[in-house]
Structure 1
Amino acid sequence: FGMFIPYQSVLIPLVQLLTSINLYGGIPGLILVHIVYGIPICTLIFRNYYAGVPKELLEAGRIDGASVLGIYRHILLPLSVPGFVVVLIWQFTSIWNEFLFAVTISGNNQPITVALVNLAGSIAPQPNVQMAGALLAAVPTLLVYILLGRYFVRGLLAGSLKG
């Protein structure tokens, strides 16, 4: 439900809430906002992923005497690596590219996306500085995709195919 609510519609109440709990103007408040807004999509990804796990595996764990926690720890968790990678890449990319919360909530500790917009909107733009900033902003995302990309497609498809 939360992922269908536009960021702009909750911005003022969010700032008021973060101010009341003394998290406005810093990175902890920004982290909290991203966690709250990330829960719905992560839940959907894992729900689809776990729906594709054969029931026979869970039944075998129950027959062997494993508790619900034991089934999760010994059967589901090892199978969930592609799902975790998909969530990690998805969340990292959306948080890294996010601008509205970063400029509104973080105060003086603004992430690189805000700095890039400030570079682009300067009075005397310097293309070499802008391109260097864009390259620095793209490197972490590129590294995440290079290191974890082989799991990404596998994890996305694992929750989408049935049978």
Structure 2
Amino acid sequence: MSFTDTRTGYHRPEAPTGRGWGTAARVGLWAFLAISALFFAIPLFVMLSTSLKTAEEVRGGSVFALPTDPSLAAWGKAWGSACIGRVCEGISNGLWNSVKILVPSTILSVAIAAINGYALSLWRVPYAGLLLAGLLLGAFIPFQVMIYPLVRMFAQVGIYGSLTGVVVVHVLFGLPILTLIFTNFYRSLPPELMKAARVDGAGFFRIFRRIVLPMSANVIIVAVILSFTGVWNDYLLALIFAGRDNLPMTVQLNSLVGTRIGLPEYNVNMAATLIAALPPLILYLISGQYFVRGVTAGAVKG
């Protein structure tokens, strides 16, 4: 198509609208999303389907075949009677150990990180730039290089191999990234509110409690989700620092799946894996929209 300028008489073709490119990009996007969904959905389908089969059906059929007579027997055995070493109590004890580690670790990490981020972003803290640089460095240094010094330090103070020791380790390794998240979020808040509160005589903690904390709901949810996921899915730190009486579900799950005595019960292993993965999944399903709000509100800006 073309058109003529009535004032100058110049005849020129009409510019292309680009609708074809837009349609192709949309199709490509949907294809990418579908492939990505299948990439994650297929293993989940195999795990769920296998956990609902009997051991004989698992060994005699395809991993993609649906269970002929679905049963939750494997789930019950994984929870309460599967053998981990010489103890046949399933992974239920590991669940409660995970909760005992998770709750104080998450509460302390989020609370301390929120106060640190508030102080570094809204108050004049000496050497704040160096502190932020140290936090950034600590967030990206592999924690494996710090394990041996921490083991020696914890043994000296008497908390190695205890619930206190593993909680302290999770708090220490969770603080850098959470503090950076809170710092970036608080920097997006209007500074006039803090200045007005200071003029009215409010101090550090009163401003934090009355003004900053009520505006932090979304970023707190982001921090809780990140901390929850990191602590719940941890294996190495818990194996080293928790002690034999506080081993979480991830350690017991590894021992269960790695057992080589007798015929492997893949249905029980899959059921135990799904049980271990349910708490983070439920958390994401419940608070997913708040997580997105926290991210878009500036929680990970910077």
Q: How many residues align?
A: 162
Q: Which residue of 2 aligns with 1:80?
A: 216
The amino acid of 1:29's aligned partner reads G
TM-superposed CA distance for 1:102, in Å, is 1.1
Greater relative CO (CA pairs within 8 A, separation 6+): 1
Post-superposition Cα deviations, 1:135-154, rounded to whole Å, max 9, x if no partner, equal 11112112222232221111
TM-superposed CA distance for 1:112, in Å, is 0.8
Q: Which residue of 2 aligns with 1:110?
A: 247
Q: 2:275 aligns with which of 136, 147, 150?
A: 136
- Which piece of structure 1 moves more, 33-42 or 146-155? 146-155
For structure 2, the residue ranges without an aligned partner over 5 or more in a row are 1-136
Aligned partners of 2:301 and 2:160: how far apart in 1?
43
Post-superposition Cα deviations, 1:50-92, rounded to whole Å, max 9, x if no partner, equal 0111223323434554334332222111001111111111001
TM-score, normalised relative to structure 2: 0.50
Identity fraction in percent: 44
Aligned partners of 2:209 and 2:195: how far apart in 1?
15
Aligned partners of 1:101 and 1:138: how far apart in 2?
18
Q: Which residue of 1 aligns with 2:168?
A: 32
- Deviating beyond 4 angstroms after TM superposition, the runs of 4 or more aligned structure 1 residues are none
TM-superposed CA distance for 1:111, in Å, is 0.7
- Which piece of structure 1 moves more, 61-70 or 120-129? 61-70
Larger Rg: 2
TM-score, normalised relative to structure 1: 0.89
How do residues 14-29 of structure 1 correspond to structure 2 at under 5 angstroms? Answer: 14-29=150-165
The amino acid of 1:110's aligned partner reads L
Distance 1:116 1:66, change over 3 A: same
Aligned partners of 1:63 and 1:16: how far apart in 2?
48
